[in-house]
Amino acid sequence: MTGYMLAPRLRSPKTEIFLMTDTLNIALAQLNPTLGNIERNLNLLRGARTKAQGSDLMVSGELMVSGYPPEDLVLKPAFLDAIEQQVRVFASETADSGPAVLIGTPWRESGNLYNAALLLVEGKIEATYYKHELPNYGVFDEKRVFSAGRDFQPMEFRGVKLGVMICEDMWRDKVSMGLASAGADLFVVLNGSPFDVEKKTARFDYASARTKETGLDLVYVNLVGGQDELVFDGDSFVMGDGGVFVHRACSWQDSVMETSWKLSKNRWCCKNSGETAQVGEIEEIYRAITLGLRDYVDKNDFPGVLIGLSGGIDSALSAAVAVDAIGPDRVHCVMMPSPYTSQESLDDAVEIADLLGCRLDSISIEPAMVAFEEMLKPSFEDQCSDTTEENIQSRSRGLSLMALSNKFGYMVLSTGNKSEMSVGYATLYGDMCGGYSVLKDIYKTTVFALSEWRNSNIPSGVLGPAGPVMGARVITKPPSAELKPDQKDEDSLPPYEELDDILHGLIEAELSATEIAATGHDAETVDKVWRMLDRAEYKRRQAPPGVKISSRAFGRDRRYPITNGFTGYKPKGNEL
């Protein structure tokens, strides 16, 4: 039971004494919203509130009611009308004996639209807070649709002053210091913070800075789940004085974590339960792409996925992720051999499908190759064979997969990785065909690491097999597109370990060619990779979306012009 004591503070201009609590139970509702599905999202909150019946207050993530990021959907008045109507209904439900709720939602006031937190207490909207710091970089463009808040007033709940912040507000000391100066007793932060393997710890660093500079404990509630290219890992927590974790929820799954607080020596402190076990970086990436794919398929109501299974490592890993995400019965693999397909690849594809327990069909593309050769023969007269004929093979496969997709409704899952997409080592309307790509932001060297890890491990909650998901030869054999005799990727590209290091310098670090060459790479190779990266921009604009796991994913995160005459990257003289 929550205890109360008389407080000498006034709740309103009326002269009255109210009861202030000296203990408080706060539930952290880490949930997976579906963008635009207001009713479903509020029902998730209702279910979480039922689980949190022993708490005084339940806190959701950022924009939980609408889903995040809502983009231009919040420019539709009908959408905002529906949100406000259904939120008021939900608010009325808090008149029962259950906990009050602090929710994230778009909200209008005085002609402006805000990214808001609403405190729902005893059947009504008791207080509002509007996000101050609107991010406008990378995948974020909130300034385009939201107005910024200006008020640093804490929300008062049972005599406790909650310093409410929303996501980016925690990244700046301006908001936290303003709330602390206004008398906040503890911080409550609603978040929609996407997963980023390179900067995940940044949120912990910022939270730690806020607790250290103010001396106030902090509640952090993040979303979980996939939304188009973004994936949210959850990992909600309570952080105490000095930046110490007091509670930490499991990542990658819905949860309702209840925490107990007590006022002691004029400071609100949370009872310590310690951290939950955390996973390593490779497992984090694997869970991210699995959850991202599962939510993309399920939230868009696809019955399953189609994969061109070549016997190579990229399609093998894509198939494993798909089976783990949605189950083997919803994954249909198709081997599409040509005269250049090796027996090893045929055998490896069969083994992969057997290990995963999914369907595998074989459709030869040789008749299509012959048909195109005859059809184009008059136009190609006196021309030598080149990459044109290779691309016809790839496009014959893409056409076959799209025909199966049209006929049966399964979404084609493309299998290209970030290394290939960076340098344009992919065929438009061929292997780039698809509705989604789980490896779009995964470099080839990481593809190898993920495959080796999954062959020896199984993450919790997946639907795939506990044992290996591909044969050892799939991982060890030299990568090849098999579009001509004895072809190897390294005939056209630097070794992947070298290529990926150069690409990381060019893309994530935005280094110059000179700076990358100074780290030990051959200057001519760096120049070649840079030129390939620039020239392939038009292909990437036509690529399917895929899970973002890095700080600079292709798509909304990294935006370069297709028509681009800048050549200023070349150093003076003949250095490259």
Among the listed residues 62, 168, 351, 482, the single catalytic one is 62
Q: Where in the chain is the domain with CATH 3.40.50.620?
A: 282-492
pLDDT band, very low/low/confident/very high, at 312 (cuts 50, 70, 90): very high
The predicted model gives 306-324 an average pLDDT of 96
Q: Show the tokens assigned to 96.
A: 């029962």
Report how far residue 337's alpha carbon sits from residue 362's, in angstroms, rounded to the nearest whole number: 7
Class of domain 282-492: alpha beta
pLDDT digits (tens, 9 = 90+) for 404-454: 999 999 999 999 999 999 999 899 998 889 999 999 999 999 999 999 999
> Which residues, listed in sequence order, are joined to residue 160 by a DSSP beta bridge?
157
For 256-304, the DSSP string reads EEEEEEEEETTEEEEPP-BPPP---HHHHHHHHHHHHHHHHHHHTT---
Digit-coded pLDDT (tens) for 191-232: 999 999 877 789 999 999 999 999 999 999 999 999 999 999
Identify the band that residue 566 occupies on the pLDDT scale cut at 50, 70 and 90: confident
Instruction: Please report, rounded to a whole number, the percentage of residues in the chain having pLDDT higher than 70.
Output: 93
Residue 406 confidence (pLDDT): 95
**Burial of 140: CB neighbours in 10 Å, binned 0-12, 13-18, 19+:** middle
Judge whether residue 10 has pLDDT over 60: no
Per-residue pLDDT for 467 more than 60? yes
Which amino acid is residue 94, in one-letter code?
A: T
Computed from CA positions of residues 565, 566, 569, 575, in that sequence, does the dihedral angle turn out positive or negative?
Answer: positive
pLDDT at 271: 86
Which residues of the chain does CATH 3.60.110.10 include?
A: 25-263
Amino acid at 507: I
Instruction: State the pLDDT at residue 190.
Output: 98
Specify the range with the lowest mean pLDDT, choosing from 113-117, 388-392, 465-469.
Answer: 388-392
Cα–Cα–Cα angle for 204, 294, 258, nearest 5°?
45
Q: For the domain 25-263, what is the CATH superfamily, name and number? A: Carbon-nitrogen hydrolase (3.60.110.10)
pLDDT at res. 570: 52
Q: Please report which confidence band the pLDDT of residue 482 belongs to, taking 50, 70 and 90 as the band edges.
A: low
Q: Rounded to 10 degrees, what is the CA torsion of 196, 253, 475, 311?
A: -110
Q: Say whether pLDDT at 237 is over 50.
A: yes
Q: E strand or H helix at 538, and its extent?
A: helix 537-540
Give the HSE-up count for residue 350: Cα atoms under 13 Å, Cβ half-sphere. Answer: 8
Q: Is 62 a catalytic residue?
A: yes
Model pLDDT for residues 25-38, shown as the tens digit of each residue: 999 999 999 999 99
Q: Is the pLDDT of residue 106 over 90?
A: yes
Alpha-carbon distance 426 to 366, whole Å?
20
| Residue 84 three-state SS | helix
**Which residue type is seen at 198?**
E
Which tens digits make up the pLDDT trace of 513-538?
Answer: 889 999 999 999 999 999 999 888 98
Q: Residue 16: its pLDDT value, please?
A: 38
Cα–Cα distance, 324 to 207 (Å, whole number): 33
Region of 135 (left: φ > 0; alpha: ψ -120 to 50; beta: rest) is beta
Strands (E), 368-485: 411-414, 436-437
Query: What one-letter code names the amino acid at 447?
Result: V
- How far is the CA of 449 from the CAs of 237, 286, 413, in angstroms? 29, 10, 21
Catalytic residue selected from 131, 418, 444, 548: 131
Single pTM value for the model? 0.91
For residue 482, the one-letter residue type is E
User: 492 falls in which pLDDT band (50, 70, 90)?
Assistant: confident
Q: How distant is the alpha carbon of residue 112 from its chain centre?
A: 29
* Backbone φ, ψ for residue 31 (5° rounding): -125, 165
Residue type, 197: V
pLDDT band of 274, cuts 50, 70, 90: low
Of 167, 270, 333, 358, which one is the catalytic site residue? 167
Mean pLDDT of the chain: 90
Q: Residue 30 and residue 273: Cα distance in Å, rounded?
A: 17
Amino acid at 427: T
User: What is the SS3 string spanning 166-221?
Assistant: EHHHHHCHHHHHHHHHCCCCEEEEEECCECCCCCCHHHHHHHHHHHHHHCCCEEEE
Decide if pLDDT at 20 tops 80.
no
Share of residues in the chain with pLDDT > 90 (%): 73
Active site annotation includes 167? yes
| Residue 284: φ, ψ to 5° | -60, -45
131 has catalytic annotation: yes
Q: State the DSSP code for 379.
A: T
What is the pLDDT averaged over residues 279-294?
95
Q: What is the pLDDT of residues 166-198, one digit of tens each?
A: 999 999 899 999 999 999 999 999 999 999 987
- Per-residue b or e along 364-390, where b marks 16 or more CB atoms closer than 10 Å to that residue's CB: ebeebbeebeeeeeeeeeeeeeeeebb
Residue that has been written with the tokens 């497992």 in this structure: 283
